[in-house]
A and B are shown apart, each in its own frame.
Chain A
């Protein structure tokens, strides 16, 4: 499989990264080079192998369904590029 410039542009838009046509042109052979190299994994017979889900056997813990750290509004908003009335603000999304 190899990617063309349109695919690179599509992937960039899925990744929410703006790229110029020049960048798409530069990135296409770079990504192809890397993807071509990882494709050697296809040689490995994995028909009877489960994909790894946990690297060290460990069971997922559950905690009590209670608030552990509440009342942190100011701390949560402290690094927001823009906030108002105790909320994060973003450009208008609903007309």
Chain B
């Protein structure tokens, strides 16, 4: 028996995880997504704290009780927080894109979505146009896919 004398250097094993899932979204989320095709944003009211939770949830995270009523909220609101992404991340969309949480008229919690309809190429002007408190309107896809990608926000006319 002879001892190998060649140092082959570090070896590597490459792998890709390609896993598929089909998640059931349940009755509440399904109804919210269905309403998007009619141009409506739905919330659920908590009987304890009386908050209208948007997006619609079947129970209140604060009171741990079931929500009771469906509430259609408005399609105008204000930006609570935002970011503009300029860095590419593997398997995520190509930048730049803007994301925001906006509280809609009649809702007590904020909804997350893309913000479209503004030029993101200049960082300074993009950030100024998205400042906390900026009014936005919800737009709906003409070609809905039954997902939360069927709506997005745009700065309300005249808000710039």
Q: Do A and B bind each other?
A: no
Which A residues lie at the B interface, using CB under 8 A?
A: none
Which B residues lie at the A interface, using CB under 8 A?
A: none
